[in-house]
Amino acid sequence: MRTWRVGSISMGAALVLLGVFLLLAQVLSWDPAIAMISWWPLLLIILGVEILVYLNWKKDEQQHVKYDFISIIFIGIIGTFGLGMTMLNATGLLDIASQAVSAEVRTLDLPKYEEVMTDDIKRVFVETGRYSANIEASPGKETVMFGTYRGEMRKDVAVKDVSDYALIEKQGDTLFIKLKEMPTSRLLNDGSEINATLLIPDNVKLEVVGNGNDVNIKTRNLKADWSVASMSNVKLDVPETSNVKIEAIDMQELGDETWKNVKRNEDVDKVSGNLTYGNGAHTLQIQNSYTLQIGR
């Protein structure tokens, strides 16, 4: 009488298939996780065929059948693992884990943006979001933006074009520039950062709105009115020869300068004041920010 142990063939096939897929994954550079998701359902097919054959041959009284429970448990473990991988892939968690393993923190140059300011553009409006920015008055006729991006880089570079990190539109007499939020992990904040530098023609009006971030401003020979709002720390580089009036409105703290017309709002614990360089022909207004520091 011959004894057939159901599950032995399936376990052997599982080992063969596992070896084949691992070999192909090495040779063809497959993702091992994807390979595991792809091949494990074959185990259920083989085990099912083996059981069907057993049921068909059971009619033969001379055929003695036993179940190889160790092999079946082994197949069940592989199947459960494969099912778990499939569920992770379906929910996107497998892709997140794969990206997290393959990612590396790098600092890259931002694609440069340059716009010639024609006579019809009278104003530039900038939203910096949560990122720090450096803004400088320029004697040229171009608005220029460049800088660096630091974050987790995966298989493809996160920033390839200006549109990947900034929304830029011209409407009427205004050029709008808005820094975009950079891609981050859905589960973890990878700390991606943009450090952008903007060169703005010194004869064009500028309005900058932040989101509790830092900004460094070099006024140089400013010939237009500028305003900055909703920042954390504002640093100004103002030459002694400047012809500008600095208005600080609703600040948490003012620097050590000799401010004029200082007014403190005790209800909201904010202070306002102004400083004048030269004749103060042009105004630089800083409002609703935390600290203001002036250097030369």
Q: With 90 as the cut, is the pLDDT of residue 177 above it?
A: yes
Query: Is pLDDT at 94 greater than 90 in this prediction?
Result: no
**The pLDDT of residue 257:** 76
pLDDT at 185: 54
Per-residue pLDDT at 193: 83
pLDDT at 205 over 90: yes
| pLDDT score at 1 | 47
Q: Which band of pLDDT confidence, cut at 50, 70 and 90, is reported for residue 107?
A: confident
pLDDT (tens digit per residue) in 61-80: 555 556 666 666 766 676 67
Across 5-19, 106-120, 179-193, which has the greatest mean pLDDT? 106-120
pTM assigned to the model: 0.67
Greater model confidence, 206 or 242: 206
Q: Where in the chain are the domains? A: 2-102, 105-295
Mean pLDDT of the region 76-94:
64
Res. 157: pLDDT tops 70: no
DSSP string, the chain: -EEEEETHHHHHHHHHHHHHHHHHHHHTT--HHHHHHHHTHHHHHHHHHHHHHHHHHTTSTTEEEEE-HHHHHHHHHHHHHHHHHHHHHHHTHHHHHHHHHH-EEEEEEPPPEEEE--TT--EEEEEEETSEEEEEEESSSEEEEEEEEEEEE-SS-S--SGGGTEEEEEETTEEEEEEPPPP--SSS----EEEEEEEEETTSEEEEEESS--EEEE-SS--S-EEEES-SEEEEE--TT--EEEEEEEES---SS--EEEEEETTTTEEEEEEEETT--EEEEEES-SEEEEE-
Q: What is the pLDDT of residues 26-46, one digit of tens each?
A: 677 666 656 566 666 776 677
% residues pLDDT > 90 (the chain): 42
State the chain's mean pLDDT as an integer: 80
